[in-house]
Structure 1
Amino acid sequence: MERVRREWPGAVELDVSVDGEPGTARALAYPALVGRPEPGDAVLLNTTALAMGLGTGGYAMVVAVPDRLPPDPTGPGHLVKARYTPLQATVLGADEQGSPHHEALREADSLDGMPVVVADLHSALPPILAGLLAARPGTRVVYVMPDGGALPAWFSMSIARLKEAGALAATVTVGQAFGGDLEAVTVHTGLLAARLVLDAEVVVLAQGPGNLGTGTRWGFSGVSAGEAVNAASVLGGRPVACLRVSEGDERERHIGVSHHSLTAYGRVALAGADVVVPDLPGGFGAEVTRQAAPLSGRHTLVRVPVDGLEKILRAAEGDWGVRLSTMGRRLDADLAYFLTAAAAGRHTASLL
């Protein structure tokens, strides 16, 4: 290991020398799992993501720092996440018997109408918050992160910066995901913990960084967005569906309203939601409206103006220190994507 490039809560980014390779490479370590590397340390790396050139965080991942291992976990907590992998983590679940919150969650069954904004991609989180907080400053928002993308919440620099800026109150990691302010076993108990333990007024639910897609109708990790609508509804929440819209994606299946949104909300979601349709200008806006129309059979389509949202997004990016980017495209390269997510936040503010 050559040097520490930067760090944020739960993660350290490094420059490392890889045997047999020229120069240095970027690597990422989670000190709680593998130990904290220091310059000169030998580190064991998994270089799969680096070799594949993955778009979301093409890092070599530190598997261990053999000469500087972390202390053995001593508890509390009996939930094991990333189960039966070499880096499985033992955490305290908000819903487990040894938790101080167990009694509050044991018979909990209602979100009391709390809005739950559901999105496909992790990159929707900052613009949803920007639209919401511009319309209703001070709203207490909790992010619930399922396990469709990255498992450690520590991977997301956006989470760290949004919390530091006060835009995000807390994170709950559910399923096999871990590293949030609270842990929970399922999306259902994660939503209940956000409401009853963390006093959320709004939840944003989207997978962590690094979604997976195969170019097939059903083979994408964002199918969980439809399942999240069902979970929010059965618990008495108010689901708000954020469409994945793009004008800059090179893949035809994602131009306008992505086929991911049409499948997740049109086929997987069995409960109704407010589907936010942004009033985007010109012919592209009309095409987005046309593509979203079939969702009206189950959902309520809500037209939301986008005036002023571009300015709000640019200000949020600067004020929060968060880089607005989706699938490698920045704000100017795919403005429609970010305006759509911000419109979902704007609509959610009107429900409070």
Structure 2
Amino acid sequence: MIFWKKGRISRVLRSERDIQELLVECEGVPCRAWNYPLLTGEARVGDEVYLNTTAVQLGLGSGGYHFVIANLNRLPHFPEEPGHIMKLRYTPCQLKVLSVEEEASPHHGRIRDFSSLNGTPVIVGTLHSMLAPAVAGCLSEAKKGIRIAYVMTDGAALPLALSSTVRILKRKGMLAGTVTAGHAFGGDLESVNIYSGLIAAYTVFQADVIVVTMGPGIVGTGTNWGTTALEQGEIVNAVSVLGGQPVVIPRISFADPRPRHRGVSHHTLTALGKVALRQAVVVLPEMPAPQYELVEEQLALEGILSRHRVITVDGSPALKLLEQEGITVRSMGRTPAEDPAFFLAAGAAGRFAAGNL
């Protein structure tokens, strides 16, 4: 079921090319809403809009925001641009993009003639909050001159514009470019799937390291198989098939109150123990002995120690770099001080990837 309400825009709190943050009067109550100009056009003060209020009404993780689904004051005007690939296909929000693979794309030849990633390290995470510490880990190890590309999958949020992390990393010059794969959209490049997304990151952005995670948010059901985090195993396979080196960020926490996420998350255990059919490097952060012993035991029980190469790296330089750059990171509402193992794991993976170029 979808919940809709009508509202009127009272303030435009922030306006960028791909996203607007709005204050909307909705049934006499002020509320916040996101507007994606790519889908519904530019929103202005006084506009009457239809809002999708489903996530807020269900208490889901949208950050307390509604989403503008239609502007009742004007039809959006979209400039004519090339492209024939549809994302969000066969929904009312379907949009046309110029996919990097298309013949009309200036990069079509590079995708067509691709042969191999030539051992390029590809850091494969699950949660979007792994992106910044993974990038910082790369930069703390390789310093200047390294080119890092980000491929965002469609396992969670579809619009890349929702990610404040990506905006910050690009503004600081820490990312060479972004690719949105599958039904995700809004990257510097669009791709039909993860394979062509990886190829685009390598051939177009000439990435030394590629980082892959879903966008903000994740789907989970408390079951081993009912989560979008399992894409991690599938991406490991894709990277290996294309001739890259999969470098896995395990989801580790000793602050999450849910038993299934204590130590190594069941997401990681299932993805690496059952879904990944190719070998990956699984990077553990340095941790206190009792924590490390639990993590090692969990990996052994799932056969991950024998199926994958598991190593340990100090991830703390990544967190120091984030602090120096003034970049604040959180995951599930927790900071690195509150859940250090989670962020250190991403930083460690980044250091390993950059250190093995």
Normalising by structure 2, we get a TM-score of 0.93
Alpha-carbon shift at residue 94 of structure 1 (Å)? 0.6
* 2:12 maps to 1:4: yes
**CA distance in 2 between partners of 1:71 and 1:6 (Å):** 20
* 2:46 maps to 1:37: no
2:133 corresponds to: 127
Alpha-carbon shift at residue 66 of structure 1 (Å)? 2.2
Q: Where do residues 1-352 of structure 1 align in structure 2 (5 Å cutoff)? A: 1-19=9-27, 22-72=28-78, 74-138=80-144, 139-293=146-300, 294-316=303-325, 318=326, 322-352=327-357
Alpha-carbon shift at residue 58 of structure 1 (Å)? 2.8
Helix, strand or coil: the match of 1:326? coil
Alpha-carbon shift at residue 307 of structure 1 (Å)? 4.7
Alpha-carbon shift at residue 131 of structure 1 (Å)? 1.1
Equivalent residues of 2:124, 2:211 under 8 A apart: yes
The 1:302–1:8 alpha-carbon spacing in structure 2 relative to 1, beyond 3 Å, is farther
**CA distance in 2 between partners of 1:259 and 1:332 (Å):** 23
Please provide the CA RMSD for this pair. 1.5
How many residues are aligned here? 346
**CA distance in 2 between partners of 1:61 and 1:323 (Å):** 25
Amino acid at match of 1:267: K
**CA distance in 2 between partners of 1:9 and 1:243 (Å):** 34
Q: Which range moves more in the overlay, 50-59 or 175-184?
A: 50-59
Amino acid at match of 1:27: A
* Deviation digits for residues 166-199 of structure 1 (CA, Å, limit 9, x no counterpart): 1111110111111100001110011001111111
Equivalent residues of 1:149, 1:207 under 8 A apart: yes
The 1:161–1:309 alpha-carbon spacing in structure 2 relative to 1, beyond 3 Å, is closer
**CA distance in 2 between partners of 1:168 and 1:204 (Å):** 10
Helix, strand or coil: the match of 2:214? coil
Amino acid at match of 1:314: E
Give aligned-pair identity as a percent. 48
Helix, strand or coil: the match of 1:324? coil
Structure 2: state its 5+ residue gaps.
1-8
Equivalent residues of 2:140, 2:317 under 8 A apart: no
Structure 1: state its 5+ residue gaps.
none
Helix, strand or coil: the match of 1:325? coil
Alpha-carbon shift at residue 53 of structure 1 (Å)? 2.1
Alpha-carbon shift at residue 311 of structure 1 (Å)? 2.7
**CA distance in 2 between partners of 1:34 and 1:44 (Å):** 11
Helix, strand or coil: the match of 1:333? coil
Equivalent residues of 1:122, 1:206 under 8 A apart: yes
Q: Which range moves more in the overlay, 249-258 or 328-337?
A: 328-337
The 1:298–1:78 alpha-carbon spacing in structure 2 relative to 1, beyond 3 Å, is same
Helix, strand or coil: the match of 1:239? strand
* Deviation digits for residues 119-144 of structure 1 (CA, Å, limit 9, x no counterpart): 01111000101111011123111100
Amino acid at match of 2:195: H
**CA distance in 1 between partners of 2:201 and 2:87 (Å):** 19
Alpha-carbon shift at residue 249 of structure 1 (Å)? 0.7
Helix, strand or coil: the match of 1:90? strand
Amino acid at match of 2:47: D
**CA distance in 2 between partners of 1:251 and 1:10 (Å):** 36
Normalising by structure 1, we get a TM-score of 0.95
**CA distance in 1 between partners of 2:165 and 2:40 (Å):** 22
Equivalent residues of 1:305, 1:343 under 8 A apart: yes
Q: Which range moves more in the overlay, 223-232 or 57-66?
A: 57-66
Alpha-carbon shift at residue 89 of structure 1 (Å)? 1.1
**CA distance in 1 between partners of 2:262 and 2:321 (Å):** 24
**CA distance in 1 between partners of 2:41 and 2:58 (Å):** 25
Equivalent residues of 2:315, 2:346 under 8 A apart: no
**CA distance in 2 between partners of 1:203 and 1:69 (Å):** 39
Alpha-carbon shift at residue 309 of structure 1 (Å)? 4.5
Amino acid at match of 1:303: T
Equivalent residues of 1:80, 1:89 under 8 A apart: yes
The 1:309–1:75 alpha-carbon spacing in structure 2 relative to 1, beyond 3 Å, is closer
The 1:38–1:64 alpha-carbon spacing in structure 2 relative to 1, beyond 3 Å, is same
**CA distance in 2 between partners of 1:309 and 1:143 (Å):** 17
